Amino acid sequence: MVHIDRLDAITEADHPLFELPPPPVSDVFRRISEQVAGMIGNGDCLQIGIGGIPNMVLALIRDRRHLGVHTEMLTDGIVELYRAGAIDGSRKAVMPDKIVCTFAVGQRRLYDFVDDNPLVAFYGADFTNAPYVTGKTTMSSASTVRSRSI
């Protein structure tokens, strides 16, 4: 949240938000994604990239539980993982119970999910990508939590 007093200017717009359609998935992407998905366990904390492989990996790990998210980019696949019950952030050491990101790019369902959602916390890349902070996301007193970049 940024208080309006901290802003110098506001521009209103009434055009639709940019939507990024999902990329096509190839057999090669599928095989790579299956290998990566096999390395992700319950309670891991995810950093998500862009493209066919990250999207496919997210689709393949819907059976995991207690995943956390601390990422620069928030994508449609995160919404689907959350709705499948895979994400709760309960084992994160940094901002537990929050999906932490810098920006969101995807389709309308992603934008609707982040709109006024107290579960999602937007921070600058100086926080989301800081090695010290991301390293701490892997520590938890509840269990061994690993950070996975996809």
Active site residues: 72
Is residue 110 within 8 A of residue 104, CB to CB? The reply is: yes
Is residue 136 within 8 A of residue 127, CB to CB? The reply is: no
DSSP 19: -
- Quickly list H helices, 7-141: 27-37, 52-60, 76-83, 108-114, 125-128, 131-136
Cβ neighbourhood burial of 81 (10 Å; 0-12, 13-18, 19+)? buried
Return phi, psi of residue 83, to 5°. -65, -25
